[in-house]
Structure 1
Amino acid sequence: MRHEHEPKQRKHTVRNVILTVILVLLVSVGAYAARKYYNIKHAVDNTYQSAGIKKNRNANAVIQAKSPISILIMGTDTGALGRSYKGRTDTMMLITLNPKKDKTTITSIPRDTGVTIPGYESESPSKINAAYAFGSSGTAIKTVQEMLNVPIDFYAVMNMGGMEKVVNAVGGVTITPTLSFSYDGYTFTKGQSAKMNGKKALAYSRMRYSDPDGDYGRQTRQREVIMAIMSKAGSISSLLNKDFLDSVSSQMKTDLTFSDLSAIAQNYLGARKSVSQTHLQGTGQTVNGQSMELMAKSELQRVTNLNRKNLGLDHATTGNIALSVSDASSSSDSSVQSANVNAGN
């Protein structure tokens, strides 16, 4: 099991994930020419949506003080962000940026992590990816905060289906698959480079059940596609292209304002110098008819310590809403199972 120490290429991949999913806009803000100002600000303004909750701390004060910040990044893989059915978050990553230590941490949270979702106790235990389906971004933030006892200052959610438009906007991407499989009408061959348009790249990034690493493997392929996008959109001229910016912003929502992004561009980009990636590692078990990942208390505490340390916060005990093996052994409720199925298991 790999945690903090990752190969150099992995660190570059993680960096590109940040830049593409949310910091594509950040880099644009930090590098804009005066004549491009309107396009960038318009794109950023279109992404803004309040989380609808009171944060654990004053996020704007934190960012203005140039103190370490945290961002919860979520990815959905169904429909558009304006849909009536929100869908679940198939990707969840907690990012902390420490401009004083020039360090970034990335914590991937498995979509199947078993939790009691705050405000939806009657529908719990559930997978953590249902938090967004039940109560939107605010509930997802509360769930991760209470599970890890780590404050979340900002969020960003991106429809993974929007990646199709982004790939097409940069003229397609070339990827060398790390395994062979067929999915959604496309065939991918291990070690054989392939030029992919948006639909093919999306298919490559969505397959999960035929991957020996399951959801962890799918997240790796999503990062491969995002890295390939960055390699095509690496120049400032590409990033400032109105169609490209609109493709990203129309598929994304965040409570980071243009002012926030400007402050990050000016004061936080040094945090990319050192990037550590980890993930919560659980044990698979069936609970109420659902396959969940159950987390040991020691594993939750390890991740809590990692994130709080990079945020410059004192040591604290991890949260208590994650489902343990002992909790799962006594849990069986058909109504809870039905509620989760209706939310899009």
Structure 2
Amino acid sequence: MRHHHHRADYHHSRVHRRDAARAAAAAALLALVLLAALFGISRWERQAYAPGGGGTAAASRGQPDITWNGTVYTPKQQVEAYLLMGIDVTGPVTSRPGNYNGGQADAQFLLVLDNEAQTWQMLRLNRDSMVDVPVLDLRGDVIGYERQQLALAHAYGDGTNNSCRNTVDAVSRLLGGAPIDGYAALNMDGIALFNDAIGGVTVTITSDFTAVDPTLVEGETITLNGQQAFEFVRTRKDVDDQTNLARMERQRIYLEAMKPQLLALSNEEVVRVMDAVNDYLVTNIGSQTVLDLAEKLRNYQGLPELTIDGTNTIEGEHVAYILDEDSLQQMILQLFYQEKTT
């Protein structure tokens, strides 16, 4: 499996106000990260722009052919994939020394672009999915793998790039070794800041939030302020059936409602919004790559969001989402493979 080891400085680097290209790049990254990380959730993590790094649409991905149900599939050769995360840590991003201080990645989305077909698609990953998680020692080296919730992969490490890379490793392994070209992770405090920076997001409240926030009245349509947005996309306890699946549906609703506002942002507004969330983001996706992604997302056909089927169960004191192996294999083939022609 191919790994990216760009040590992007995670400390804040501001968007240049007079640089339209950087503003466009920031807009794209904002859309990418907040398409996903925005709704991360369960308490709250941090930021950075890499000058280069991330994203190289490989001419050859080096993956083997797969035979499934009697059909041979070969890897697509012009695919890019980026992992977007929302992290359960409060405050701006800081390096927290140790091997288990990264915070959990409560929201995870994989953005996959097919440059040959000129399409893009999001795979939403359930944070409770039981997968092989890389376990790191104090030096940040992998010492083994344990079957744990996917969200815990980010907890290993110091909460910056090594935690992100560990999650990339876990997701890539889950998807049969599929290469992942870059990552972006947003601290959960960034949700409220971002929501307010774009003027609030209007949604219809579909759940009973009485026990959490009485201002969120079921059935009413309201423009969420920052704290309300945070509760709407984050809360699991005492809302709906208290499962991550129900929370993921609210995240989807919020994202759909937010999209028009993202698309309407001017360059100046992008700079202002990025200033608001700048200290809450970690990424190795370089500015030029983000600019390229923005152009592709604008011109490529967006396909429906995907999820991997599974079943919720309880293991010990925790919820475990047991992935359906057939559904998982279908996702791998759909995103990264095509039928082999002779």
> Do the structures match in fold with TM over 0.5?
yes
Aligned to 1:167: 195
Question: Secondary structure of the residue that 1:276 maps to in structure 2?
Answer: coil
Deviations 1:267-300 (A, max 9, x none): 45322x2312221222233334432112232222
Choose from 85, 90, 93 the match for 2:106: 90
In structure 1, runs of 5+ residues without a counterpart are 1-28, 53-57, 316-345
Q: How big is the shift at 1:203? A: 1.0
Q: Provide the identity percentage.
A: 22
CA distance in 1, matches of 2:259, 2:302: 19
Q: How big is the shift at 1:155? A: 1.1
| TM-score normalized by the length of structure 1 | 0.68
Aligned to 2:240: 211
| TM-score normalized by the length of structure 2 | 0.69
Deviations 1:49-99 (A, max 9, x none): 59x9xxxxx943639xx9321111111133135243431011111121123
Letter aligned with residue 281 of structure 1: D
Aligned to 1:192: 220
* Alpha carbons of structure 1 residues 230 and 286: separation in structure 2 relative to 1, 3 Å: closer
CA distance in 1, matches of 2:179, 2:127: 20
Q: How big is the shift at 1:262? A: 2.0
CA distance in 1, matches of 2:225, 2:328: 39
**In the alignment, does 2:78 pair up with 1:71?**
no
**In the alignment, does 2:239 pair up with 1:243?**
no
Out of 292-301 and 139-148, give the one that drifted further. 292-301
CA distance in 2, matches of 1:246, 1:313: 45
CA distance in 2, matches of 1:172, 1:122: 44
Aligned to 1:117: 133
Choose from 231, 255, 258 the match for 2:260: 231
Aligned to 1:156: 184
Contact 1:233-1:239 within 8 A present in 2 as well: no
**In the alignment, does 2:75 pair up with 1:48?**
no
CA distance in 2, matches of 1:244, 1:169: 5
CA distance in 2, matches of 1:106, 1:241: 23
Deviations 1:124-171 (A, max 9, x none): 221110000014011101111111112111111112320101111122
Aligned to 2:171: 144
In structure 2, runs of 5+ residues without a counterpart are 1-14, 30-46, 60-76, 137-142, 158-162
Contact 1:111-1:128 within 8 A present in 2 as well: yes
Out of 209-218 and 138-147, give the one that drifted further. 209-218
* Alpha carbons of structure 1 residues 147 and 166: separation in structure 2 relative to 1, 3 Å: same
Contact 1:36-1:240 within 8 A present in 2 as well: no
Contact 1:98-1:268 within 8 A present in 2 as well: no
Letter aligned with residue 186 of structure 2: M
Q: How big is the shift at 1:313? A: 9.0
Choose from 72, 89, 102 the match for 2:118: 102
CA distance in 2, matches of 1:314, 1:248: 44
Out of 128-137 and 182-191, give the one that drifted further. 182-191
Q: How big is the shift at 1:100? A: 2.7
Greater fraction of residues in helix: 1
* Alpha carbons of structure 1 residues 292 and 41: separation in structure 2 relative to 1, 3 Å: closer
Choose from 129, 151, 160 the match for 2:151: 129
Aligned to 1:342: none
Greater fraction of residues in strand: 2
Aligned to 1:7: none
Letter aligned with residue 277 of structure 1: E
Aligned to 2:320: 292
Tell me how large the CA RMSD over aligned residues is: 3.5
Aligned to 1:80: 91
* Alpha carbons of structure 1 residues 38 and 94: separation in structure 2 relative to 1, 3 Å: closer
**In the alignment, does 2:271 pair up with 1:270?**
no
CA distance in 1, matches of 2:119, 2:242: 28
Contact 1:166-1:248 within 8 A present in 2 as well: yes
Deviations 1:275-334 (A, max 9, x none): 12221222233334432112232222122112213xx6979xxxxxxxxxxxxxxxxxxx
**How many residues are paired up?**
275
